[in-house]
Each structure stands twice: as C-alpha cells, then as structure tokens.
C-alpha cells in the first residue's frame, strides 16, 4: 500500500485558516486521497476525498499537487471544534480497507 | 438514518471470559469494517466484509478473535478467551458504495481485567 507522511502535530488559532499537509510520493494513478478526522472520544469521520482535481465541501477544501505526490487539507476558519486528529489515507477503490497512520493532531486555541 | 450502531458501548470483563461486540451497519452499505484502537498502536484494521463475505482478516490478532456477518444488517466480533491486552476501543464502520466514504460507529470500549 502507498504510504502517507504527515506532521505529528500542528497548532492554530481560532478563526484562522489551517493548512494540513500530507506527502504521498509513492501514490499510484488510481489511488484516491481521503481525509478523515477523529474528535476526542469519537470514531473517525469523513472529511473529504479526491483523485486529481481540487475539491471543496462544507467542511474543508482539498488541494492536490499537480504531480499528486502531496496534498493539503484546508480548513478555512478553524474553530475549537476542529481540534482533532486528521488522517490522510490512500485507497484505490471503494470496498477496500482504509489503513490509518498516526495522523496529525491539530490543536486550536481561542 | 441512525448511523452505524455498536453495542455494548462499554464492557468490563475478566480475563478468560468471552466477549461479543455487535454492529449494525447503515442500510444499503455493502462493506463493513472492524477496527481496534489503542494508544500504543493507533487504529488497526482487524477484518472487513464485502456483501457479507470476509475479504481480509489478516489483521485479526490471533485465533482468539473471530468475526461473522450472517446478514447485511448485523456483524459480530468475538474474543474468546479475552486477555488484558485486548483492552481497546473497537470500532465498526460501513461504507457508502458510490463514494467510498466510511461511516464509523461510536465504538465499544473494552476493558479486560
């Protein structure tokens, strides 16, 4: 399985944008890039996913590098509720399992 | 939709006892996954099913662990006999087929004394 590399932790202030990086230099052409987050004492929840083009939804934006070797999850205005562990995961198709790494622990200060 | 439903939410048992964790996936989702989370090892995939058939159980720690999915609306993860090192939060997730999005339950926190 292609692997991802994320910083262990990041800090942000409330209402500021947050850019969470993910490196996946061994990504294959059919790998989708998924982002999940896990709030304290909860199960992981889906944030966003993409293949080649940048993606936006109500939670976040996903910026994918042209060579697809890296991506960035963008939270446009961080809130205290966004404090969580963020996981960047590659998977090649629906019905295959997501393998979670250690993720990035995001702290948000008021 | 009620989401993925797991039971029990918390279980405390003694070493050697049998433990059964239950999961009801979201209706219409064809894939179901069991994960285990500990501080030391993070989130680990144990086993997953497609259309009720086990596809990959390579993450099941040992023969003490078994999982079944007798129908599309129910799955169990059984540990027999349980050991203290099995203490963890066990998550069940089901997958929306058209997007690949996983929906996780709230987890079952298992403590084996």
- Contact list, B56 vs chain A (CB under 8 Å): 97
Q: Kindly state the greatest CA–CA separation across chain B.
A: 42
pLDDT, averaged in runs of 10, over chain A (110 residues): 88 96 92 94 94 93 96 96 96 78 95
A98 touches chain B (CB under 8 A): yes
Could you report the per-residue pLDDT of B6-47, keeping only the tens digit for each?
999 999 999 999 999 999 999 999 999 999 999 999 999 999
Give the mean pLDDT of B76-103.
Answer: 94
- The CA angle A57-A52-A34, to the nearest 5 degrees, is 55
Give the closest of B30, B98, B100 to A91, CB-based: B100
A-chain residue closest to B43, CA distance: A100
User: Which chain A residues are Cβ-neighbours of B98 within 8 angstroms?
Assistant: 94
**B97 vs A: CB within 8 A:** yes
pLDDT of residue B12: 98
User: DSSP class of residue B57?
Assistant: -
User: Would you put residue B70 in left (φ > 0), alpha (ψ -120 to 50) or beta?
Assistant: alpha
Given an 8 Å threshold on Cβ–Cβ distance, is A95 in contact with B31? Answer: yes
> What are the start-end ranges of the E strands in B1-112?
5-7, 10-13, 19-24, 31-38, 42-50, 53-56, 65-71, 74-79, 88-95, 102-104, 108-112
Neighbours of A80 (CB within 10 A): 10
How far, in Å, CA of B75 to CA of B63, rounded? 18
| pLDDT of res. B86 | 97
Picking from B30, B50, B104, the nearest residue to A45 by CB comes out as B104
Please give the angle made by the CA atoms of A66, A71 and A76, to the nearest 5 degrees: 115
């Amino acid at each position: 399985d292609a692997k991802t590399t994320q910083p262990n932790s990041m800090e942000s202030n409330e209402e500021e944008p947050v850019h969470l990086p993910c490196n996946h230099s061994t990504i294959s052409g059919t790998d989708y890039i998924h982002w999940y987050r896990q709030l304290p004492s909860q199960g992981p929840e889906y944030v966003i996913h993409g293949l080649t083009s940048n993606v936006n939804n109500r939670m976040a934006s996903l910026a994918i590098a042209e060579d697809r070797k890296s991506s960035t999850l963008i939270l446009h205005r961080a809130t205290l509720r966004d404090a969580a562990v963020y996981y960047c995961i590659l998977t090649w198709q629906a019905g295959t399992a997501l393998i979670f790494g250690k993720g990035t622990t995001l702290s948000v200060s008021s | 939709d009620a989401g993925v439903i797991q039971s029990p939410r918390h279980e405390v048992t003694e070493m050697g006892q049998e433990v059964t964790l239950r999961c009801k996936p979201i209706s219409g989702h064809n894939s179901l996954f069991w994960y285990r989370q500990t501080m030391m090892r993070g989130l680990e995939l144990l086993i997953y099913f497609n259309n009720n058939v086990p596809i990959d159980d390579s993450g099941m720690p040992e023969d003490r662990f078994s999982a079944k999915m007798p129908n599309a609306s129910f799955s169990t993860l059984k540990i027999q006999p349980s050991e203290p090192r099995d203490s963890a939060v066990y998550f069940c997730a089901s997958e929306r087929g058209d997007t690949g999005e996983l929906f996780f339950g709230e987890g079952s926190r298992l403590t084996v004394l």
